[in-house]
Amino acid sequence: MRLLFSIGAVLVAGMLAGGEVAGIAAPGPKFEPSRHQPQRLAADKDAQTVDVELILAVDVSYSMDMDELAVQREGYAQAIQSKEFLQALKLGPNGRIAVTYFEWAASSDQKVIIPWRLIDGPETADPVAAEIMKTPIRRASRTSISGAINFAMPLFEEDPYRGLRRVIDISGDGPNNNGGPVTVARDAALEKGIVINGLPIMVKEPSYSTMDIDNLDYYYEDCVIGGPGAFVISIKDREKFKEAIRTKLLMEVAGRTPERPVVPVADKDKEPRVNCMIGEKIWSDRWGR
């Protein structure tokens, strides 16, 4: 799957109807109704069980221009407040999620914008969206997807809530070019039962100055994502930026998977279509180190 995004309202309508819509498959087994569900939810109430612990890891490297960074911020804020998102929350057995939002660039550059927050309706969603929007936009050097994953993993241990699923959501517009190999970080996360989804941003033509690459979607599919139901939603049209972010969050919150999902290279015996060290190679060829 190289491109997947649908209109949020149509997506949620299909979810509420219990069917499959626009390339989105039904929830996995963890979201199937159980006759023991009421008892389990009652037992877990004090432990603050949530349907998913979701980490939003957002690229702020210099290859992202200021307009893209602003649209990206607005996309996440608006998605969290959207009617479709709030409806999707109610599809899970607990009707609530835990979310944290951080921005990343180099391997040592990560900044938490939103610490772990519980979202279970508009009263808790609105403050999260407002905090995302009021934080000053910044940019920083280098692109370390591996650093973002390594930073994200311990955050799950700091979360006061416990989720039925743990998901790292990585958005970015280029390959890893700093820190450890991205596949090593990815595999470490998968060993912990964490799912990694991707949002490759491909709205500009690849160029030497930005170190962009062709087929960034393939790179994310083969080198970044992994785990049960992992998926990639590519953004190739600036006008679709916010819609893609909303659709991605709806799928993650409701536990949906693509109807025709790509099986990540990490989950099967297959060579990647893209050199997973391509970012490091470009940087070395350009700067000699």
Quick: pLDDT tens for 272-282.
788 899 988 88
255: pLDDT strictly greater than 50 = yes
pLDDT in tens, 82-95: 999 999 999 889 99
**63 pLDDT band (50/70/90 cuts)?**
confident
**198 pLDDT band (50/70/90 cuts)?**
very high
Phi, psi of 52 (to 5 degrees): -155, 140
Phi, psi of 268 (to 5 degrees): -150, 165
Q: What is the dihedral of CA 74, 80, 85, 87, to 10 degrees?
A: -140
9: pLDDT strictly greater than 60 = no
Q: In percent, how much of the chain has pLDDT > 70? A: 76
pLDDT of residue 183: 96
Taking a C-beta distance cutoff of 8 angstroms, is the pair 100, 114 a contact? Answer: yes
pLDDT of residue 22: 36
232: pLDDT strictly greater than 50 = yes
pLDDT of residue 155: 98
Q: What is the mean pLDDT of residues 238-264?
A: 81
Which tokens in the block code for residue 283? 């940087």
**96 pLDDT band (50/70/90 cuts)?**
very high
Taking CA atoms, 179 is separated from 41, 109, 273, 281, 289, in Å, by: 41, 11, 22, 13, 13
Q: Which range among 28-37, 45-54, 117-126, 146-155 shows the weakest confidence by mean pLDDT?
A: 28-37
Q: Which residues contact 55 (CB under 8 A, 6 or more apart)?
A: 99, 100, 101, 102, 152, 155, 156, 167, 168, 169
Q: What is the mean pLDDT of residues 167-194?
A: 95
Average per-residue pLDDT for the chain: 82
pLDDT in tens, 69-85: 888 999 999 999 999 99
Which tokens in the block code for residue 251? 């799928």
pTM comes to 0.83
Task: Report the 10 Å Cβ neighbour count for 226.
Answer: 24
**206 pLDDT band (50/70/90 cuts)?**
low
Which residue carries 């772990």 as its tokens?
Answer: 116
pLDDT of residue 260: 55
Taking a C-beta distance cutoff of 8 angstroms, is the pair 163, 98 a contact? Answer: yes
Of 153, 177, 144, nearest in space to 227 by CA: 153
29: pLDDT strictly greater than 50 = no
DSSP annotation string for the chain: -------HHHHHHHHHHTS-BTTEEPP-GGGS--TTHHHHHHHHGGGTEES-EEEEEEE-BTTS-HHHHHHHHHHHHHHHHSHHHHHHHTTSSSS-EEEEEEEE-STT-EEEEEEEEEESSHHHHHHHHHHHHHSPP--BS---HHHHHHHHHHHHHH-SSEES-EEEEEEESS---SSS-HHHHHHHHHHTT-EEEEEEB--S---TTTT--TTHHHHIIIII-BSTT--B--B--GGGHHHHHHHHHHHHHHT-EESS----GGGSS---SS-TTHHHHHHHHHH--
Q: In percent, how much of the chain has pLDDT > 90? A: 54
Taking a C-beta distance cutoff of 8 angstroms, is the pair 2, 198 a contact? Answer: no
200 vs 284, higher pLDDT: 200
